[in-house]
A and B are shown apart, each in its own frame.
Chain A
Amino acid sequence: MKALMLVAALIGAAGIVLLAGMVVGIVPSNTVRLIEGYMPVQVIAELTLFVAGFTGLSYMMAAMGMVFPRFWQGILFWAFILLYLKFRIYPPIPFSVRAMYGTVSLVAIFMWVSANEEDWNKFKQPIMNVLDAKTGGKRLLRYAYLVILPILIGGFSYNSMVPKSEEPIELRTVHPAPPASTKVHGKTYTLQTSQNPYRTNLEGKYDQDYSNAMTVEQGMGRLMKPNANPWDKDAQGYLKYVREGGEIFYQNCHFCHGDNLNGRGLHAFAFNPIPANFTDPGTIAQLQETFIFWRVSKGGIGLPNEGFPWASVMPPWEQHLTVDEIWKVVLFEYWHTGYYPRTWD
């Protein structure tokens, strides 16, 4: 038991040191990378680890005779969470979201310190002590609070009233509802029934199982299957179309969506929001192939209002590519990210 607690205490201490390093900027916040798509799980796992660590830490300290008051435990843990959200998580999350998480964790900490009458009394004891001011030091502290609190609150309200310019928050629907059908180069495609004509097996039949077996492997690197090289001279059917789609992608799309389809192309830095990251499980992995076909063909200008057509620089690709080229690019995007397109059923 004690050894277990010791290990936990070490983890807790390491966590504090790491976070302190991140706050002062010695340790880069991406030391352990948050992996796209697994970020929430990773964050929760890390925090759980730290909770265990701090439990061990406080146990060890108590065992060594250094009892840490519950009051400060609560406050410091909350501070830890706030700092963690601000300095650990990269890319940074906006203040409004941090404020929300901060509030939730404050409530959680309150529930923890007020779990029973005894705990609650222990927690509020230091506050009462200051209010009662029975010793000289406490009295000094009380006067300090009396002076500092109004100044702080006055300062905050001044700060909030001075005119400031912050970018207005605009909440955009990333995947707006698609239309039932779309007309590209004079032909109408019904989204629910259309299929990618290049997702075919060697007999030329639409075959998603066949293509799924040839897509790149999931996991770090997302490399092609050893025996499914689209650049093989003898590549036929699906794999050949993947290569043709890739050629079109690297002549047209990578400028924004990037060489690794992660939305960080050459021009990405100029745009707001930055271009879609196809390797994120929240984009093409969530969508049907015909949805992508519609989005690619019609571009930003073809979005419904909730998709912010005015801000999207996504070209209506029907102006630049043929229908066949668009289908091949879509095919390539799924191949290169290793995702399977969603089906309608």
Chain B
Amino acid sequence: MKNLLGLKAGVVLTTAFGIILASGITAGLAFAADAALPAGFKKGDLSPEPSADMIEAGKRVYFTKCVWCHGVDGAGDGPGADRLWPRPRNFNQGTFKIRHTASGELPLFDAKKPVAGQNDLFETVTHGLPGSAMPSWEGILTEEQRLQVLSFVTTQLVKDRKFTDKQSESQTILQLGDLKPIPATEESLKKGAELIVEKKCVECHGADGRGDGNAFNLKDDWGFSIQPANWHKCWNFRGSRQDPYNVKNIFRTFSTGVNGTPMPSFADNTTVEERWHIANFVNSLCEREADGTPLSIDQLTDKPKVNFVLSSGVVLEGGEIPADPEHELWQKRARRIIAMGGQITHKPRNFVNRIDDIWMKSLYNDKHIAFMFQWDDRTKSVAEGKLPWGPTQVNIDVKEQDPKTGEEGSIAFRQNNYTVYNDAVAMETAVKWKDLPAPIKPRYLFGSNEQFPVDIMKWEADGSLRAFKGTGWDKDFEQRDNYEESSKLLFSEWKNGRWTVIIQRPLGNKKDQDYDEDTFFEMGQYIPTVFFAWDGHNGDAGRKMAVSAFYYTFLEPPTPREAYIYPIVIAFGVVLLEGWVLTRRSNKRKGKTTL
């Protein structure tokens, strides 16, 4: 009986397999007939309409979770929209960015098939769109609920097109599963580097791929400002699908284009091989560890993991701290990522911080400590003429974005139309930190009060380096006496979308510096440090800026001599202990045998 069943199942299976095979062949014939298809694509069928139950259930999900940004009619105009950049998607036109389908086509969506690679919208909801406010809904909504809400969106909120209309819609699907990636050899990367120039990628994405090319005038289909991707931050790629170092994501986006944006599909004018070379090259640009391994990504935030200790390396034997970032000492020094968020505590709040991280390095010698700031900024911004406020003024006339403005006044519309101020960075360290019982610090935003002040050093793109004393978030800075003279700007340069700035300042001693105003850096101690950054083209000035959390500057002490002596003494002690145990055991055994 059992055998019979098995036989039957076998027959069914073979028949099914045969049918699939046969249909595959016919599909292949059809494919051969339709020579116009771009390389790597195949014709596909439109998915069936989701059931009415799914749509109805999806409405409930939509009005609990999505309506707040995407709006009642799905026009991307919910209550949150005007303060967001990128602006939430307007579903009405059926324009979706991340797809496996040819340029201009609707994305893949099938309410019955939550399969990776075959259901673009499901993957977008599952993994979110990094670099925008769209979060990953995996673990929040069940798979069923995600399919339900998409059933609602695709049938009720996409109004200008119809996912099931065979007359007007077609599906030409990138066969990403069947295309084997080309290994990222040196040769492949070299070809990729040539191709991104030949295919004019650099015109928008910039010579070094930091998105600084034609960063200014780009608009999406709705007239909202949009910027080219920065290839060095792959974790911010919208299509990174929580797997940012996977070259397939880049291949897909490059092959299908990003609907609704100036990013075209390159499927028609590149071969599959060329696309792999380009994808490999773009992928190779993403920030990595010194040994070439990908940065570890924090699963909670989908951004690189942050270590809150910035350790400063010693320059031995009274050597000078080099002013050239290419110098061996700087090159060898480990770097740390400083995560930056918008200053959203006090007015004017900065809802869109265009600087979201800074790479820091630090070196010190017997007199000075130097900090190298490196951060990506698509635009070099230097204010034209004199700024309408003094350098110590904190409470200045910069407006924050109103909550409800309509499209024309929204943050996404106003980007790149702000008055340009100076790009700038600053670091804030606690004054008299040794007198504060740990973990107490001055408040992260410009200090607490006169009792807990902070030492602020600020560099601006006009070339100035200033030292201030901060005594509270709403108190204007106080200029410090002679600190600027003893500090030095070693280097500053904006090149292809990246600033590099090196600031040198005294370590601090009671003879030359003021203990009540200046931070004294001591070896082996944890010195509370906060970083600030301003993007002049974002209209950043005063408190409209990007801020970090509290970090610690730590001056690495040279290895003490005890570290070599004590372990040997301890090891010797262990040998003695071993001898004692063995002797005892053998004595006991002898005792036992004689008994």
A186 within 8 A of B: no
Chain B 33-68: CB-based contact to A (< 8 A → 1; otherwise 0): 000000000000000000000000000110111011
Chain B 137-155: CB-based contact to A (< 8 A → 1; otherwise 0): 1011110010000000000
Contact A157 B567 (CB under 8 A): yes
A280 within 8 A of B: no
What residues of B have a CB within 8 angstroms of the CB of A256 in the complex?
341, 344
Q: How far is the CA of A150 from the CA of B574 in the complex (A)?
A: 6
What residues of B have a CB within 8 angstroms of the CB of A266 in the complex?
133, 341-342
Contact B68 A224 (CB under 8 A): no
Contact A162 B308 (CB under 8 A): no
Contact B341 A271 (CB under 8 A): yes
Q: How far is the CA of A256 from the CA of B350 in the complex (A)?
A: 12
B572 within 8 A of A: yes
What residues of B have a CB within 8 angstroms of the CB of A305 in the complex?
440
Known: A161-B563, A311-B550. A251 touches B344 (CB 8 A): no
Contact A131 B443 (CB under 8 A): no
Chain B 61-92: CB-based contact to A (< 8 A → 1; otherwise 0): 10111011100100000111011000000000
Q: Min CB distance, A233 to chain B, in Å?
A: 10
Partner of B443, one of A149, A255, A309: A309
Partner of A259, one of B133, B349, B353, B524: B133
Contact B65 A154 (CB under 8 A): no
Contact B560 A313 (CB under 8 A): no
What residues of B have a CB within 8 angstroms of the CB of A131 in the complex?
581-582, 585
Known: A161-B567, A310-B442, A311-B444. A260 touches B65 (CB 8 A): yes
Q: Min CB distance, B360 to chain A, in Å?
A: 14
Known: A254-B80, A264-B135. A162 touches B563 (CB 8 A): yes
What residues of B have a CB within 8 angstroms of the CB of A162 in the complex?
559, 563
What residues of A have a CB within 8 angstroms of the CB of B83 in the complex?
251
Chain B 15-48: CB-based contact to A (< 8 A → 1; otherwise 0): 0000000000000000000000000000000000
- CB neighbors of A among B91-143 (8 A): 133-135, 137, 139-142
Q: How far is the CA of A301 from the CA of B349 in the complex (A)?
A: 16
Contact B550 A223 (CB under 8 A): no
Residue in chain B with minimal CB distance to A313:
B345
Q: How far is the CA of A309 from the CA of B117 in the complex (A)?
A: 46
Q: How far is the CA of A260 from the CA of B443 in the complex (A)?
A: 29
B413 within 8 A of A: no
Q: How far is the CA of A18 from the CA of B444 in the complex (A)?
A: 44
B578 within 8 A of A: yes
Contact A224 B64 (CB under 8 A): yes
Known: A33-B139, A269-B298. A165 touches B80 (CB 8 A): no
Main SS class of interface, A: loop
Stretch at the interface among B6-14, B267-275, B299-307, B368-376: B299-307
Known: A163-B560, A222-B64, A254-B133. A154 touches B80 (CB 8 A): no
Residue in chain A with minimal CB distance to B145:
A221
A91 within 8 A of B: yes
Residue in chain A with minimal CB distance to B589:
A132
Known: A150-B574, A167-B552, A251-B80. A221 touches B141 (CB 8 A): yes
Q: How far is the CA of A222 from the CA of B145 in the complex (A)?
A: 11
- CB neighbors of A among B245-259 (8 A): none
What residues of B have a CB within 8 angstroms of the CB of A310 in the complex?
440-444, 448, 550
Contact A320 B347 (CB under 8 A): yes
Q: How far is the CA of A163 from the CA of B523 in the complex (A)?
A: 11
Best-surrounded residue of B140, B307, B356, B568 (most CB of chain A within 10 A): B140
Contact B526 A168 (CB under 8 A): yes
B363 within 8 A of A: no
B556 within 8 A of A: yes
Q: How far is the CA of A155 from the CA of B404 in the complex (A)?
A: 63
Chain B 309-341: CB-based contact to A (< 8 A → 1; otherwise 0): 101000000000000000000000000000111
Q: How far is the CA of A310 from the CA of B444 in the complex (A)?
A: 5
Contact B309 A166 (CB under 8 A): yes
Contact A264 B439 (CB under 8 A): no
Q: Min CB distance, B538 to chain A, in Å?
A: 15
- CB neighbors of B among A128-149 (8 A): 128, 131-132, 145-146, 149
A267 within 8 A of B: yes
Contact B345 A314 (CB under 8 A): yes
Contact A220 B440 (CB under 8 A): no
Contact B306 A272 (CB under 8 A): yes
Residue in chain A with minimal CB distance to B438:
A168
Contact A260 B140 (CB under 8 A): yes
Chain A 313-345: CB-based contact to B (< 8 A → 1; otherwise 0): 111100110000000000000001000000000
Q: Min CB distance, B359 to chain A, in Å?
A: 14
Best-surrounded residue of A145, A149, A150, A162 (most CB of chain B within 10 A): A150
Best-surrounded residue of B79, B547, B581 (most CB of chain A within 10 A): B79
B571 within 8 A of A: yes
Contact A259 B72 (CB under 8 A): no
What residues of A have a CB within 8 angstroms of the CB of B585 in the complex?
128, 131-132
Best-surrounded residue of A153, A230, A250 (most CB of chain B within 10 A): A250
B557 within 8 A of A: yes
Q: Min CB distance, B123 to chain A, in Å?
A: 16
B435 within 8 A of A: no
Name 11 extra pairs, CB < 8 A, besides A153-B571, A252-B403, A274-B301: A90-B299, A128-B585, A157-B566, A158-B567, A163-B556, A224-B63, A247-B79, A267-B344, A268-B341, A310-B443, A310-B550
Some 10 contacts from A to B, beta carbons below 8 A apart, are A90-B299, A145-B578, A155-B567, A222-B64, A264-B135, A265-B133, A269-B303, A274-B300, A311-B549, A315-B344
Q: Sort A-B residue pairs by CB-CB distance and give the 9 closest, nearest first.
A: A270-B341, A267-B341, A250-B80, A154-B571, A247-B79, A269-B301, A251-B403, A150-B571, A272-B549
